[in-house]
């Protein structure tokens, strides 16, 4: 994702949108077996400080796992 705005690393509203996008992707592909699907959050993320990206990236797994847990509950 070239041209990633630095605001993405600081604005919670954009971070929530990013996590929401991944939740939607997880919902779309929820029927695919977990051993057949891999998500890459962002190709070659860049930040002045790695902690900035790590903070953003930490939000996404919870969004994906929420969908996975819903899948398990309905199985």
In angstroms, rounded to a whole number, what is the distance separating the alpha carbons of residues 22 and 39? 9
57 Ramachandran zone, left/alpha/beta (phi>0; psi -120 to 50): alpha
Cα separation of 35 and 1, whole Å? 26
How do residues 16-60 score in pLDDT, each as one tens digit? 898 999 999 999 998 888 788 888 888 777 777 788 888 888 888
Overall pTM surpassing 0.75 (yes/no): no
Query: Does 71 score more than 60 pLDDT?
Result: no
d(Cα 23, Cα 41) in Å, to the nearest integer? 11
Q: Where are the domains of the chain?
A: 9-74
């Amino acid at each position: 994702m070239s041209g990633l705005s630095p605001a993405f690393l600081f604005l919670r509203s954009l971070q929530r949108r990013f996590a929401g996008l991944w939740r939607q992707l997880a919902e779309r592909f929820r029927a695919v077996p977990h051993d057949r699907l891999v998500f890459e959050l962002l190709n070659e993320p860049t930040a002045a400080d790695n902690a900035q990206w790590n903070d953003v990236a930490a939000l996404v797994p919870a969004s994906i796992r929420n969908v996975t847990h819903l899948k398990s509950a309905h199985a």
